């Protein structure tokens, strides 16, 4: 729930800031954000950076809406305005409730393949959804090399050349 997420992030960020203050030459802090509510995430990020001294934002890859959803633009603008990097790391598919796909429950496939899948989808949404065009100064890092992206890059390049869903910038410059 949103209120629980907001409270959790504030408590977590306050605790992390205290640890960083105790070890300033060794640690930096990255703010946890309640992405269920974009306005609350922007508010907490601003507080974490300006009041707590955090130097980055940390979020997952799967929200109740897509990463390229227009409601995320205020979040990306806040990241850019505060001049902090955004680090994205997936949770296994299904979260605490177990894998969305029951086949992923065996052999730790939700971690082995689920993470890679989530990261690939995140990178795709940021590029193909126009987020990087709308926010060219956005500094984002997706963990583990953006999943399978390095391996399927040629497929993205090929599809973007003739599909109507590919942004003009990708058609013109390639999937970069």
The DSSP line for the chain is -HHHHHHHHHHHHHHHHHHHHHSTTT---EEE--TTSHHHHHHHHHHHHHTT---EEEE-S--SS-TTSGGGHHHHHHHHHHT--EEE-PPPTTGGG--SSGGGGGGGHHHHTHHHHHHHHHHHHHHHTTHHHH-TT--EEEHHHHTTHHHHHHHHHHHHHH-TTS-HHHHHH---
State the pLDDT at residue 168: 81
More confident site: 146 or 13: 13
Q: Give the separation between CA 31 and CA 57, rounded to whole angstroms.
A: 5
Predicted confidence band at 80 (pLDDT cuts at 50, 70, 90)?
Answer: very high
Residue 149 pLDDT: 82
Does residue 93 have a pLDDT over 60? no
> Is the C-alpha dihedral spanning 71, 74, 80, 85 positive or negative?
negative
- pLDDT at position 94 is 58
- Assign 176 a pLDDT band (cuts: 50, 70, 90): low
13 vs 28: CA distance, rounded Å: 12
Nearest one of 59, 63, 34 to 47, comparing CA atoms: 34
**More confident site: 57 or 172:** 57
Average pLDDT, stretch 11-19? 98
- Whether the predicted pLDDT of 165 surpasses 60: yes
Whether residue 92 is predicted with pLDDT greater than 70 in this model: the reply is no
Q: What is the mean pLDDT of the chain?
A: 89
């Amino acid at each position: 729930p949103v209120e629980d997420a907001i409270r959790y992030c504030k408590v977590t960020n306050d605790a992390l800031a205290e640890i960083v203050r105790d070890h300033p030459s060794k640690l930096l802090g990255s703010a946890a954000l309640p992405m269920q509510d974009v306005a609350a995430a922007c508010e907490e990020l601003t507080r974490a950076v300006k009041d707590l001294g955090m130097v980055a934002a940390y979020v997952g890859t799967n929200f109740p809406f897509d990463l390229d959803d227009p409601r995320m633009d205020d979040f990306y603008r806040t990241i850019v305005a505060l001049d902090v990097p955004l680090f994205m790391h997936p949770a296994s598919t299904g979260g605490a409730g177990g894998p969305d796909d029951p086949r992923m429950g065996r052999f730790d496939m939700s971690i082995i393949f689920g993470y890679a899948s989530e990261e690939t989808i995140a990178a795709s949404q940021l590029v193909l959804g126009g987020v990087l065009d709308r926010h060219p100064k956005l500094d984002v890092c997706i963990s583990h090399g953006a999943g399978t992206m390095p391996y399927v890059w040629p497929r993205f390049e090929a599809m973007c050349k003739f599909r109507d869903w590919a942004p003009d910038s990708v058609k013109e410059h390639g999937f970069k």
